[in-house]
Chains A and B, each alone.
Chain A
Amino acid sequence: MEPKDPTPLDQSMKKNEAKFILSALRGDGKEDLDVAAKAALTMAQHDGELKCQFDEQVKFDELMRSRLGDTTVPANLRENILAATSLNSRRTGLTRRQTVGAIAACLISGGLLGRRFLSVPNRTNKLVARFRDDMIAEVEHLGKIDHMSSDPESVSRFLKTADPNLAETEVPATLEGGKLFGCKVLEWNGEGVSLICFVKQEGTRPGLHLLTIKAEALPGFEEGSVVNYQETAWTARVWRAGDNVHLLMEKTLS
């Protein structure tokens, strides 16, 4: 198709101005162009030097785009994103099938929980014991963690985004000789729980876990309260500090 004759706007446009506008165009014919961009393109069709420069620019851009498109993306990035974002579906409630599954799981684990309660001293708040038991059960069946990082800032940022209520969770780089490994967001009685995992020996699974929940989820567990547990496989401590209740648990048997 023959280029149309320059319009009055083309004539009033200076060459440098046209070059300036052309520098922002792709030249692939798919762009939604405004009047000035159309005028610059028309001018380039009538000006050999401008046309040559623009053609060269388009080819250079295509080459850069193609080379940059070859930049490697981490292999597990997509899976990590989907795993992290799936937290939201967990918070939107259970499907019917999931509810049936959860009730069945509760019935099966009922005996185990009962036995654990017997070993808990009477003075201990049953609610706190249930929190501890539920969290031990979660950690024992810990699948993939949501966010793997040894950087406290990165873990903190993740928790903040996943659940604004966990924004103030303190994330230490090391704890009791364990090195920060990553985190997961759990839910207990409708309240978000941050699970921060630490690994004591390189190349092993995390064996030390710090869980934090808002104190209002455990009414009656007063400031300064500390409860220690020693079970067959886990040593655990629950304590309240300010608005948060922490549970630190370490696997004693593998």
Chain B
Amino acid sequence: MKLHNSLLEKLVDSHYANLFRFALSLAGNEAEAADLTQQTFLLLATKGGQIREIVKAKSWLFTTLRREFYSMRQKSNRMVVIDEHEQNQIEAPENVELDYFKRANAIQVQEALAEVREVFRQPLALFYFEEFSYRDIAEILEIPEGTVMSRLARGREELRQILSRKIHFEGLADNIIPIRHSSDGTKRSHTS
């Protein structure tokens, strides 16, 4: 059963951007993320009629995209072994205040999120990109709610550490390379 075109277009407009961002957080590169997003909507177009309630379409899209991602990974034998207990060796400033993070731009945050271990990154991305509750996230990731809570807490902590390290080291780099500010406020390195 197929989905009506106008409804499909509405769903594309509502979710394609965040679906792409979620795909980017999984795949780590734009081309694969765009492919995954397009693939997911194609599946929606062909199988969307099977979704019992249209309000479930959002969850369906994110669940399907994640499954497609793993299916792609399996085919290319690039399956990543997930170890929730492995510790990331992160050296970062301790007791960082919220104001410190305000220095981070979108690219730094995106890069920091990409460095968070996959097992924590997935729930965190869903938590940030769409207004999913921990119950929705549990359904999408097919894990218990308690596990979502724990992964959100640990993922956020990991993100904070990676981000503060990024800001810290990029700040150091700014001090090492002489920077002059142009009249439009953008930074330019001295070359002469």
Question: B residues within 8 A CB of A21?
Answer: 149
Closest to A78 in B: B16
Residues of B within 8 A of A59 (CB): 98
- A105 near B: Cβ within 8 Å? no
Q: Does B105 contact A (CB under 8 A)?
A: yes
Is A97 engaged at the interface, CB distance under 8 Å to the other chain?
Answer: no
Cβ–Cβ < 8 Å partners of A74 in chain B: 20, 30, 34
Most buried by B among A32, A73, A74, A92: A73
Contact A20:B149 (CB < 8 A) given known A56-B98, A92-B2: yes
Contact among A60, A73, A85 with B12 in the assembled complex (CB-CB below 8 Å): A85
B17-43, CB under 8 A of A: which get 1 and which 0?
100110010000011001101110111
Q: Please, which residue of chain A has its CB at the minimum distance from the CB of B71?
A: A157
Of the candidates A20, A24, A70, A162, the one having the most CB atoms from chain B within 10 angstroms of its own CB is: A24
Known: A21-B149, A73-B16. A82 touches B106 (CB 8 A): no
Residue of B nearest to A89 (CB): B5
CB of B101 within 8 A of chain A?
Answer: yes
In angstroms, Cα B104 to Cα A154, docked, is: 34
B2 touches A73 (CB 8 A): no
- For residue B189, CB closer than 8 A to chain A, the reply is no
Say which one of B50-58, B84-92, B150-158, B173-181 lies at the interface with A: B150-158
Within the complex, which residue of A30, A153, A161 is in contact with B42, where a contact is CB–CB below 8 Å?
Answer: A161
Which residue on chain A has the smallest CB distance to residue B160?
A: A60
Total A-B Cβ pairs within 8 A? 117
Q: Which of A51-75 contact B (CB under 8 A)?
A: 56-57, 59-61, 63-65, 67-68, 70-71, 73-74
Given the interface pairs A24-B152, A85-B45, A92-B2, the reply to whether A60 lies near B128 with Cβ below 8 Å is no
Name the residue on B nearest A28 (C-beta). Answer: B131
CB-defined contacts of B37 to chain A, threshold 8 Å: 77, 81
Q: Are B109 and A24 in contact (CB under 8 A)?
A: no
Cα separation A64 to B102 with both chains bound (whole Å): 9
B139 → A minimal CB distance (Å): 13
Complex: A31 Cα to B12 Cα, angstroms: 25
Q: CB within 8 Å of B: which of A72-94? A: 73-74, 77-78, 80-82, 84-89, 92
Q: Residues 135-161 of chain B: 1 if any A CB is under 8 Å from the residue's CB, otherwise 0?
A: 100000000000011101100100110
A26 lies within 8 A of chain B by Cβ: yes
**Chain B residues, CB < 8 A from A92:** 2
CB contacts (< 8 Å) of B13 on chain A: these are: 78
Q: Is the interface of A mostly helix, strand, loop or mixed?
A: helix
Contact check, B109 vs A60: say whether CB atoms are below 8 A apart: no
CB-CB under 8 A from B31, the residues of chain A are: 151
Tell me the minimal C-beta distance from B20 to chain A in angstroms: 5
Q: Are B109 and A73 touching (Cβ within 8 A)?
A: no
User: In the complex, are the beta carbons of A65 and B35 less than 8 A apart?
Assistant: no
* Distance A86 CA – B38 CA, assembled complex (angstroms): 12
List the A side residues contacting B42 at CB < 8 Å: 84-85, 158, 161-162
Q: Does A23 contact B (CB under 8 A)?
A: yes
Q: Would A84 and B41 count as touching, CB distance under 8 A?
A: yes
Tell whether B113 is near chain A: CB-to-CB under 8 Å.
Answer: yes
Complex contacts, B46 vs chain A, CB 8 Å: 88, 161
B8 at the interface (CB under 8 A from A): yes
Q: For the complex, is A252 an interface residue (Cβ under 8 Å from B)?
A: no
A71 touches B106 (CB 8 A): yes
Interface digits, A144-159 against B, CB 8 Å rule (1 contact, 0 not)? Answer: 0001010101100110
3 A-B pairs with the lowest CB-CB distances in the bound complex, closest first: A23-B153, A70-B106, A24-B134
Interface of B with A (CB < 8 Å)? 2-3, 5, 8-9, 12-13, 16-17, 20-21, 24, 30-31, 34-35, 37-39, 41-46, 72, 75-76, 98, 101-102, 104-106, 108-110, 113, 127-129, 131, 133-135, 148-150, 152-153, 156, 159-160
Extra pairs beyond A20-B149, A71-B24, A80-B38 (6, CB < 8 Å): A65-B128, A70-B105, A74-B34, A81-B12, A81-B41, A88-B2
13 of the cross-chain contacts (CB-CB < 8 Å) are A32-B135, A63-B101, A64-B159, A67-B106, A68-B128, A68-B129, A70-B105, A77-B38, A87-B45, A92-B2, A147-B38, A154-B35, A158-B38
